[in-house]
Structure 1
Amino acid sequence: MSALTDLLRDWMPHQRWFGSKGREWTDISEDGFLLDRSDPVLSVHRVRVTYADGPSETYLVPLSWRDHPAEDLESAFVGAVAGDGRETYAYDAMRDRDATASWLIHLVNASTVGPMHFHPAGVAYIPEGLPGDIVSGEQSNTSLIYGSEAILKLFRRLEPGLNPDVEVHDALRRTENPHIAPLLGHIEIDDPDPANPPATVAMLQTFVPNASDGWRLATASVRDLYMEGDLHADEVGGDFAADSERLGAATASVHADMAQVLPTEPAGDDWYAAAAAQMDERLTAAIEIVPQLAEQADGLRSLYAEVARSREPVVRQRIHGDLHLGQVLRTATGWIVLDFEGEPARPLASRRELDSPLRDVAGMLRSFDYAARHMLVEQPDDAQRAYRAQEWAARNRAAYCDGYSAASGLDPCGGSPLLRAFEADKAVYECVYEARNRPHWLMIPLNSLSRLTSPE
């Protein structure tokens, strides 16, 4: 094992984008090439990690190399490598501003460097020459903002095939949909196995300046309501319902344009049974991790059985796949929908499958529920606050559905068994996530499941 792989073995598990924390490694290997030979030198590495309990994963790790330690990059330090009688110092290149301009330079020039291919969209300005500033707080990916003009998202975990985020944005360019940030280009890397297609490395989009995150706006509205002891949700100055209604319309607009430029097909009879079976399987696996779910199992399986029997009309299409308030931005002119890659933990092929748009609607309805109830974690026995949370959630869920209906002519929330089951399936997923990451938040999805499985 090389000195570099030793460093990466120690460094990678501590990075937010590393998705397999806690798993036992049996092997690590890497192959790399130089993307920029200037100062600092920029290298790109594919790091393959093999685990004792299952399939291997490949991560993309760009490194910048310096002859001397850089005190201002201490938080990005990977380690020192000895060679030729001296040491060179490796840093996370996405956190080294001096190493960030190369990505855009190569995109402008449509370069091929080693196994990496740069594909500009060809229709918009790319701000060549600007350094990129890292976006803090991300998990599965790493993004750089270039001035106020562009944002580059690096996909850390590599899989053969075109990432859905690139595919969907590229298709939607033809519609000029006002609710997406236009694609400026993308980057691919050849797979070591020539039988596999290239993997998507990164995508560049127009940056949306002066925008507000949907989750922050929604939770600020909830806080305003909690502070007003005698006002209803529609009487508070921070009422969010108008924004929720516009967000519903934006979601419908994006769904309609995705159906226009990407494949669709009517759901066959076997699709309903298969969807119900998948949800049932996920519940069975979740109960092993969250035993409290067993109390809701009968009610949940009744919901899923109703889906199996259902024949409500469904036209399957490409969807967002992971829609929630943290995936949308409000600008001065409306809502922008981000991140069409689906749930990063799922295999790429499954994220590209056709599905019902109600899956996205359910995800957003769950997000309204979370926004309303997240502050109950601090005071779980506060009946007044629980009542106000329910009032806020109901008002904004209804407004979102009204907006979607007005824009599409379809009522997504009109008693659909499929929507109810999708909400429950999402809440089961949330239970597993909270049990593993924030046990004190587990009450939110568990309480939601009690409501979803109770007779109306």
Structure 2
Amino acid sequence: MSDAAPPRHEALHRTASPGPPPSGPSGPEPLPSLAPLLAQWLPRQRWFAGKGSPVTGFTLVTAAEILPPTGTAPGLLHLLVRAHQPAAGTDDCYQLLLGVQDLLPHRLAPALIGRPDDGPLRGRAVYEALADPRLAALLLERLRVPGRLGPLRFGREPDAEIPTGLVPRPLDAEQSNSSVVYGDTYILKLFRRVGPGINPDLELPRALARSGCTRVPAPAAWFEADAPEGDEPMTLGILQPYLAGSADGWQLALGALAVRADFTASARALGHATAEVHHALATALPTTVLHHERLRRIADAMHRRLDAAAEVVPALRPYRHALRAAYDELTAHQAAVTTRRAQRVHGDLHLGQALRTAADGRWSLIDFEGEPARPLAERRRPQPVEQDVAGMLRSFDYAAAVGRAGGTWAARAREAFREGYAAGRPGPGEDPWLLRAHETDKAVYEVVYEARHRPDWLPVPLAAIARLAARADGAARP
């Protein structure tokens, strides 16, 4: 396999037919009159990444009028805006879908953003469009027809069947994105913070579908926008099959813990499913050899994160020496890891990213976006598979803590997952040094997160830190 970077996803652009000529909002630019309203509304949204820092202004990136308002019928305005937050040193780009109408029904009152005092939308109600079933249904209809609308391009798989008349309902559980379920057939995931380049949540499931892997729902349609200054287009949304009658691994694990039921068979099957997906990704997309220099860079980055974390959380400091030893093992055993490769991975794997259908007990993996806080280029970079395995192992620890189970539950689930993974992946299993290092790095991240946001949860990752530090001499498997 090639060591080169993954090729640009040209097939994404070929699927869009020419469509109508470019169009956008008629009249003056709407953003100046919307800016005061957005400055108040945007920081209150769960998917807004810049909380705690004031928004000082906005820049319009693109605008498209998907449907102009007529009479009592609502209009749908699509905006990409850059929110300037100089105190935080960020100017992230956000996707907004705005409904526009004169008289807002009472049921849509919670979705109101406000009424501009001037500009082309003066006096009209501007609101979150996904809360309006008519506008959410319109978005699905637009996805059924490949083509272009102003700066927006809509693509669809040729064999995808997207029925008409599916009733939309927004999901409340999303954090960094927004999702709408259509009937029990499809789910549309909308990325709120966007940037140039294809999103892995579109790129990887499409590659897996082409390889014949059925463990990941295959995208049926998507849309993107032109990026400024000639950058790669920005992925905005993905329509995928909705796995009705399924539950995520986090719910299932907590359900098992509530009745003290065994979870090892489920964990083993989940490990097998994860290995299948990793194998399919390694077959469908380029991989790279983990040479000594690459391992050294990985270890150096982990060292830096540990040092920064210990400055924030003093409870980490007694373990620093032992944890450093776990990172140093990456380059101390080069002879044993010369055959190890980096490949495309999930990037943020945990129990909540796995779904099991009730009918057949089959596991599927979802949400291949990676960690949204990381730059897109980093999320598209090949990584050791141990990164995903470590994320799932840490998730079992958290489930045990929430379910108030003893340490044996998590230990059994972790071991069963690893057994299933080893059985499902051709060739050598996971590398013990890479796994220990990645699990340690993940636990260090969790320590900082809990210290800042949920101090009562800090004992959970600290217990893992103590366990990993005790094993950092390499005498035992992680």
Q: TM-score, normalised by structure 1?
A: 0.91
**Within 5 A, what are the aligned runs for 1:116-127?**
116-127=152-163
**Within 5 A, what are the aligned runs for 1:1-400?**
2-30=32-60, 31-37=62-68, 39-52=73-86, 53-83=88-118, 87-193=123-229, 195-225=230-260, 238-311=261-334, 312=337, 313-331=339-357, 332-333=359-360, 334-376=362-404, 388-400=405-417
Looking at structure 1, the residues matched to 145 and 38 of structure 2 have their Cα atoms a distance apart, in angstroms, of: 31
The offset of 1:289, in angstroms, is 2.6
Contact 2:390 2:435 in 1 (8 A): yes
Looking at structure 1, the residues matched to 185 and 164 of structure 2 have their Cα atoms a distance apart, in angstroms, of: 11
Classify the secondary structure of the residue corresponding to 1:87. Answer: coil
Q: Are residues 1:441 and 2:469 paired?
A: no
The farther-off stretch of 426-435 and 56-65 is 426-435
Contact 2:200 2:379 in 1 (8 A): yes
- Cα distance change on mapping 1:451 and 1:410 into 2, 3 Å: farther
The farther-off stretch of 49-58 and 209-218 is 49-58
Q: RMSD over aligned Cα, in angstroms? A: 1.7
Q: Residue type matched to 2:423 in 1?
A: A
Q: Residue type matched to 1:438 in 2?
A: R
Q: Are residues 1:424 and 2:458 paired?
A: no
The farther-off stretch of 85-94 and 309-318 is 85-94
CA distances 1:18-50 after superposition (whole Å, capped 9, x unpaired): 011002333223352211125210001112111
Identical columns (%): 41
CA distances 1:267-297 after superposition (whole Å, capped 9, x unpaired): 1111111110011111122223323222221
Q: Residue type matched to 1:393 in 2?
A: A
Contact 1:121 1:184 in 2 (8 A): yes
The offset of 1:86, in angstroms, is 6.3
Q: Residue type matched to 2:455 in 1?
A: P
Classify the secondary structure of the residue corresponding to 1:2. Answer: helix
Looking at structure 2, the residues matched to 125 and 288 of structure 1 have their Cα atoms a distance apart, in angstroms, of: 54
Classify the secondary structure of the residue corresponding to 1:260. Answer: helix
Contact 2:77 2:98 in 1 (8 A): yes
Contact 1:296 1:449 in 2 (8 A): yes
The offset of 1:127, in angstroms, is 2.7
CA distances 1:243-284 after superposition (whole Å, capped 9, x unpaired): 111101100000010011111122111111111001111112
Contact 1:4 1:81 in 2 (8 A): yes
Looking at structure 1, the residues matched to 423 and 413 of structure 2 have their Cα atoms a distance apart, in angstroms, of: 15
Q: Residue type matched to 1:37 in 2?
A: P
Looking at structure 2, the residues matched to 271 and 328 of structure 1 have their Cα atoms a distance apart, in angstroms, of: 30
Contact 2:144 2:221 in 1 (8 A): no
CA distances 1:322-380 after superposition (whole Å, capped 9, x unpaired): 0000001001330010011110000000001111111101110010111111244xxxx
Looking at structure 1, the residues matched to 77 and 35 of structure 2 have their Cα atoms a distance apart, in angstroms, of: 14
The offset of 1:299, in angstroms, is 1.4
Quote the residue 2:466 is aligned against: 450
Q: TM-score, normalised by structure 2?
A: 0.87
Contact 2:80 2:96 in 1 (8 A): yes
Q: Are residues 1:402 and 2:419 paired?
A: yes
The answer for unaligned runs of 5 or more in structure 1 is 226-237, 377-387
Number of residue pairs the alignment of both structures matches: 431
Looking at structure 1, the residues matched to 294 and 169 of structure 2 have their Cα atoms a distance apart, in angstroms, of: 45
Looking at structure 2, the residues matched to 59 and 135 of structure 1 have their Cα atoms a distance apart, in angstroms, of: 19
Classify the secondary structure of the residue corresponding to 1:25. Answer: coil
Q: Residue type matched to 2:280 in 1?
A: D
Looking at structure 2, the residues matched to 112 and 51 of structure 1 have their Cα atoms a distance apart, in angstroms, of: 32
